[in-house]
Amino acid sequence: MKKWRNYFIISLLLCGSIKLRAQWESPITHFWEVKGYYNPSYTGISNSINTTAIYKYQLAGIEGAPQRVLFTTNMPFTFLNKHHGAGIIAYTENIGTLRNSLFAAQYSFKQQIGSGMLNLGLQVGIYNLNYYVETVNLTSNLDQTSFNRLSVNTTKKQTADIGAGVSWTAKKFYVGVSALHINQPKFYVFNISSPTDNSLHNSTNNSSDSLESHIPLSFNLTAGYNIPLFNSFEIQPMVLILSNSNHTYTQATMQIKYDNKLSVG
pLDDT over threshold 70, residue 157: yes
Question: Comparing C-alpha atoms, which of 142, 140, 141, 183 is closest to residue 160?
Answer: 183
Q: What local confidence, expressed as pLDDT, does residue 207 receive? A: 42
DSSP state at residue 134: -
99 Cβ contact list (under 8 Å, min separation 6): 92, 93, 128, 130, 131
N- to C-terminal Cα separation, the chain: 24
Between 10 and 165, the more confident residue is: 165
Q: 3-12, 118-127, 231-240: lowest mean pLDDT where? A: 3-12
pLDDT of residue 133: 57
Between the CA atoms of 141, 142, 148 and 151, what dihedral angle is there, to the nearest 10 degrees? 160
47-76 tens-digit pLDDT: 889 999 998 887 777 777 888 899 999 999
- Calculate what percentage of the chain has a pLDDT beyond 70: 71
Q: How many CB atoms within 10 Å of residue 238? A: 21
Query: pLDDT band for position 19 (50/70/90)?
Result: very low
Asked whether the whole model's pTM tops 0.85, one would answer no
